[in-house]
Structures are given as structure tokens and as C-alpha cells.
Structure 1
């Protein structure tokens, strides 16, 4: 390091994030793409709030919602690929950082706290999206499902990111908006943070995930990290 470590950096090694619903609000892009696809098939548009409830479950869930079919339908795979092709064409039309997330990224840089993205979004979409938004330089590691044998909720991608950052998992936070994020982070031995502001499944209670901490807005990560920046706090969580 080029300057003396801060108290935060002495006791926290890194922050690792899910992408959609945690760092970026991408739902409007998915709404646009799915509705374009539905219109081409002479079907009515999808309800935005219902769509938000399945965004974290990926393209399969969004196609199933829009077309009212399940994965056993003979047309499903063709429609899923059509959806992905359209998404690639309209990537980053309306995606943006959640309020307060830019503040978190800048704060982490000042604290020299390494950052990573660990997402179930394929790298073919993740890397261009981060590049177009000018965010790639913030993250020392970006791990996508095509980089590992098992995606989240397996801890494999999170542990790979920790290895790439050369940090200790037990001194890291993993932040996400889905139960699988908390499960993966816990299995990796990290401190887990659930995001109330993300794409929660309708009727699901985030308290049931048993994350170590819950936040309602992105900027709450800063005081949380400062709170955790004591050896006693970290040791208590790791017991």
C-alpha cells in the first residue's frame, strides 16, 4: 500500500457484491427487452413489479413469467435464447447504480478496500455492462458463472474471487439481494449482508435468510463497515 492502512482496512479485507439488484438496478433493461420480445409475439407487456420479483432468478424466470410457460415447453429454449440475444442488443439502455452505491465505491477506494463482483450473470453481459457504465476499474475481481464449475449458491465463485483478491474470506463481506447470495456467502465463511432494496421475491421475508446484517439503502454499508472495523467485532462473528 502507498499509505498507512486505515482502521477499516486493518480489520476488513474486502467487499464482494452480487451485481443485479445489489450494485446495479438493471430491471428497466429487462423490462424493455422482454416487452419487445412479447410485442413481437403479439402478447401483452409484462407487469414491471412482477418482473422485479424474478429478475434475480435470471433469464429463465423472466421468459417463464412473460410467456406463461415452464421450462418443459418445447418453445422455451428458443424463446430464452431470443431473449438473451435481445438483451445483448439493448444492454445498458437504462441500467444504473443504486442510489448511494457510487458513494460506497468511492469510499472503499479511499480506504484502499478491495472490491469484487460475484454474479450469476454470464461474463458476456457482465463485463460489457461494467465497462459501459465506467465501473470496471473499481473491481479487482469479477467472477461469473462461466468462470467456475458451480454458480451460487455454491461458495465456489465467492472463494475464487477471494483468491484473486488475495484476501481472507472470514474478513470479507458478501452483499446480495437473494437468498442464494446469503447461502453462498455463509458457505464461503464470509460476513453476509442482505439488501432490502433489491429484487426480492414477492412474499419472501428477507429476515428469514438469516444474513448477518440487513441494509435498506446502499450507503448504509459505510457505517456498517466502520462498525465492524474492530478486531472484537470480527472475532465475535467468526466464533
Structure 2
């Protein structure tokens, strides 16, 4: 990878650093069961991840309420959203990290970035109340000088605002701040913010091949990130 003369690095969480699909599946399905809504399969949940918990819940609820035998016999989505969200938050906080694992190569990759002396921020659409305990539990917190969630700013990725605000916090120029993510959300936000972006191939990209999304590189492991920042 060419010398980007970087000042800092921003890294997404779900699907980039940690495989959290198990946490999403358990928490959301327990919430749905609490409200007598049919539970969802992992594939639906995985392709609905990335745009924040509100989007996840609304997308899955819409799908489940349209199932044969359910449509017309259940409350409307708007009526169910708040109670499902309340139960989802309860269950997620109770199992946060229990059904998730750090992806192979992540710790080694973070060590490599840290060796270059580049400050790092974790920037995710996950609520900050879910994010902070998770990165602490998984041993990731020491690598990040800043951590921002989906409710840290007025808008979420793919809007560029979270990236621009994170650059301000890191005191780095967007053009010299690398975004590392796993989805088109990360790439769209980075492009709009003027940040270079690298995408991981193993994450959650709404069921679409990540290689179809423009980026500097598509990596199978964070240890493959070769930065020459001298």
C-alpha cells in the first residue's frame, strides 16, 4: 500500500474487529420472543446489521411481521418497535460479548498500527452503551484513545459526520485518517468525508460481496494491513 502519510486511524467494530453476530442473534430473538413475534434466522439478522440497532430492529420486525400466519394477526411495526427495542437493550446488555469473538489477526494488526505511533479511534454505529463494555471485555480498549458509537453524534454512518467529528477528536485531517471497516456504509462515509478506506472481507456487508465496493484494499486479515508511514 502506498505511503498515505497518515496521522490517525479509525476502525469499525462489528464485523471488523469483533464477530458479534451471535450477540445480535441471541439478544434480538429473545426480545422478539418476549413480544410473541417469531424469531429470525441468522442470515436475515446478518444482512440487516450495519446501520444501527434501530435499523436492525425495524428491518427484522418488518420481515417477521409479514410472515404467513403473522401478517394481519399482530400489532403494527410502529406499535412494536419501542417494546422490542426495550427488551433488545435489556437482553443485549445482559449477554454483551458472551456470543462474540475477536476476529483472527485483529490483535496483531492493532499492535502493528500502534507500533507506528498512530492514534486510533473505534467508530461504530453500535450504541455506545453496548460498545464500551464490549471492547473492554475483549481486551481492545487499550488500543483506542477515542471511542464513538452510533448515538455519539447526530447522524450515523454512512453519513460522513461521525468520521469528520472523529477526525476532529483525533486532531487529524480527513485525508490523512484511514477508515477501516467491513461494509459499504464505512466506504460511503469515508468517501464523503474525504478519508481513505480499507475494507475487511469477512464482515457484514448486507449480504453483498465487499469487493464490489471501491476501496484502497480488501483484506482477509488486519495483519495484512501494510502501512509505511515513515
Q: Shorter-chain-normalised TM-score: which range?
A: 0.7 to 0.9
1:101 equivalenced with 2:106 (yes/no): yes
CA distance in 2: counterparts of 1:95 and 1:170, whole angstroms: 33
Higher RCO, Cα 8 Å, sep 6+: 2
CA distance in 2: counterparts of 1:62 and 1:162, whole angstroms: 27
Matches within 5 A, 1:139-158: 139-158=144-163
**Structure 2: gaps (5+ residues):** 67-75
| 8 Å Cα contact 1:15/1:116 also seen in 2 | yes
The Cα of 1:72 is off from its aligned counterpart by 4.1
Matches within 5 A, 1:108-147: 108-147=113-152
CA distance in 2: counterparts of 1:50 and 1:189, whole angstroms: 32
Aligned residues: 218
2:220 paired residue number: 216
Evaluate the alpha carbon distance shift between residue 60 and residue 145 of structure 1 in structure 2; reply closer, same or farther with a 3 A threshold. Answer: closer
CA distance in 2: counterparts of 1:153 and 1:39, whole angstroms: 31
CA distance in 2: counterparts of 1:217 and 1:180, whole angstroms: 19
| 8 Å Cα contact 1:141/1:165 also seen in 2 | yes
| 8 Å Cα contact 1:59/1:84 also seen in 2 | no
Question: Between Structure 1 and Structure 2, which shows a larger proportion of helix residues?
Answer: 1
**Structure 1: gaps (5+ residues):** 1-7, 231-239
Q: Report the TM-score, using the length of structure 2 for normalisation.
A: 0.83
Q: Could you give the per-residue CA deviations for residues 1-23 of structure 1, whole angstroms, max 9, x where no partner exists?
A: xxxxxxx7x92222211111111
CA distance in 2: counterparts of 1:40 and 1:103, whole angstroms: 40
1:165 paired residue number: 170
1:68 equivalenced with 2:72 (yes/no): no
Q: Secondary structure at the match of 1:117?
A: strand
2:200 paired residue number: 195
| 8 Å Cα contact 2:18/2:100 also seen in 1 | yes
Q: Secondary structure at the match of 2:199?
A: strand
1:11 equivalenced with 2:11 (yes/no): no
Q: Report the TM-score, using the length of structure 1 for normalisation.
A: 0.80
1:53 to 23, 36, 47: 47
1:31 equivalenced with 2:36 (yes/no): no
| 8 Å Cα contact 2:201/2:210 also seen in 1 | yes
The Cα of 1:191 is off from its aligned counterpart by 0.7
CA distance in 2: counterparts of 1:106 and 1:129, whole angstroms: 19
